[in-house]
Amino acid sequence: MKIGILTSGGDCPGLNAVIRGSVLKGVISYDTEFVGFRNGWRGVVEEDIVPIVRHDVRGLAKQGGTILGSSRTNPFEGEGGGPEKIQEMLDRNGIDAIVAIGGEGTLTAARRLYDEGGIKVIGVPKTIDNDLAATDYSFGFDTAVQIATEAIDRLRTTADSHGRCMVLEVMGRHVGWIALHSGMAGGAHAILIPEQPQSIEQIAEWVESVRDRGRAPLVVVAEGFKFDDMAEAHSHKGLDAFNRPRLGGIAELIAPMIEERTGIESRATVLGHIQRGGEPTAFDRVLATRLGMAVVDAVHDGAWGSMVTLRGTDIETVSIADAVGTLNRVPQSRYDEAKILFG
């Protein structure tokens, strides 16, 4: 049995731990051979394949990024794209199955390849945003929360020294899990997430109540947050026609609005790709390793079109169809719980 592994979409701490988990499990338990497709689906379409042996995964659990590289290539595009060409490529190289490690886009493509062409593919969920349905947590999320929490702790000392309001922007295009968890862990006075639009009046009220208690206000905002009153935001000429900040991130729009309304000097920090880089936390290493091992079992069971997933503390297998199409959003109850601590 020969398995081809790929990592696709935005990188994520823990990808290398999945590769290591798979290779060790495959070599030790099944005498499986492994190859890697370089740069995600691009390696599949362009037949860019490298061997992976046990020696290659030594010490890899703690290494950030992905040794295979990544891209956002669509496997249905390009000369070698589409299920027929891909099956020919797999046959030519003696590859029996593909393990696709990726988020919503990668898994949707994997499912289509299986549904439309019978490609033997199994998915492993990956996202720092924790926005994938059908898994309780995805690896990379814990690391991102840890990094964002450290940033909040650091911002707090400089905020206190100057009596400033700090606005920290974290990742989360569609969901606010990183903002919610880091904001709770770091004791933020307001958490702004895509699932819960707010008015600038409400944000200013939270900030002022913190100032009135003699504290320096700290606001955490997910990059996908939007005001509930877009007219108000447009009046600041900060958003484009798609409601995206014109310059910089949403934090750079909100900080001056807070300053204008409250008179509190405000600063914006955009954490950006720092929260996706570096070593994964121990939690993410363990989760990624377990998923990597489980996907090899799934391959040997012939569970094509499925995805390995975390349910409670168990690793299970679900259909990829159950994991794509719906996002794992922050529920109202979790936001209400955090909101008690605002202001």
Q: Which residues bind ligand F6P (CB under 6 A)?
A: 10, 103, 127-129, 171-173, 223, 276
215 is in an annotated binding site: no
Helices (H), the chain: 15-25, 41-45, 83-92, 104-117, 141-162, 177-186, 200-212, 230-235, 250-262, 282-301, 320-323, 332-339
Q: Closest CB to ligand F6P among 171 and 191?
A: 171
Q: Closest CB to ligand F6P among 303 and 327?
A: 327
103 is in an annotated binding site: yes
- Cα separation of 162 and 158, whole Å? 6
Contact 317, 46 (CB under 8 A): no
193 is in an annotated binding site: no
Q: Closest CB to ligand F6P among 128 and 315?
A: 128
329 is in an annotated binding site: no
- Cα separation of 137 and 112, whole Å? 24
DSSP assigned state of 279 = P
How many Cβ atoms sit within 10 Å of the Cβ of residue 72? 14
92 is in an annotated binding site: no
Min. distance of Cβ 58 from ligand F6P in angstroms? 28
Q: Closest CB to ligand F6P among 169 and 208?
A: 169
4 is in an annotated binding site: no
Instruction: Read off φ and ψ for residue 116, nearest 5 degrees.
Output: -90, -25
Min. distance of Cβ 126 from ligand F6P in angstroms? 9
Min. distance of Cβ 62 from ligand F6P in angstroms? 20
Pairing of strands 97-102, 2-7: parallel
Min. distance of Cβ 74 from ligand F6P in angstroms? 15
Residue keyed to tokens 């992905």: 66
Catalytic (active site) residue 91:
no
Min. distance of Cβ 222 from ligand F6P in angstroms? 8
Rg (CA), the chain: 22
**246 burial via Cβ count (<10 Å: 0-12, 13-18, 19+):** exposed
Instruction: Write down the catalytic residue from 11, 129, 131, 284.
Output: 129
Min. distance of Cβ 109 from ligand F6P in angstroms? 15
- Cα separation of 152 and 168, whole Å? 7
How many Cβ atoms sit within 10 Å of the Cβ of residue 158? 13
Q: Residue with CB nearest ligand F6P?
A: 171
223 is in an annotated binding site: yes
Q: Closest CB to ligand F6P among 195 and 208?
A: 195
Of the candidates 128, 264, 119, 131, the residue with the CA atom closest to the CA atom of residue 195: 131
Q: Closest CB to ligand F6P among 33 and 223?
A: 223
Annotated binding site for Mg(2+): 104
User: What are the binding residues for ATP?
Assistant: 10, 72-73, 103-106
Which positions make up the binding site for substrate?
Answer: 127-129, 164, 171-173, 223, 267, 273-276
Active site residues per annotation: 129
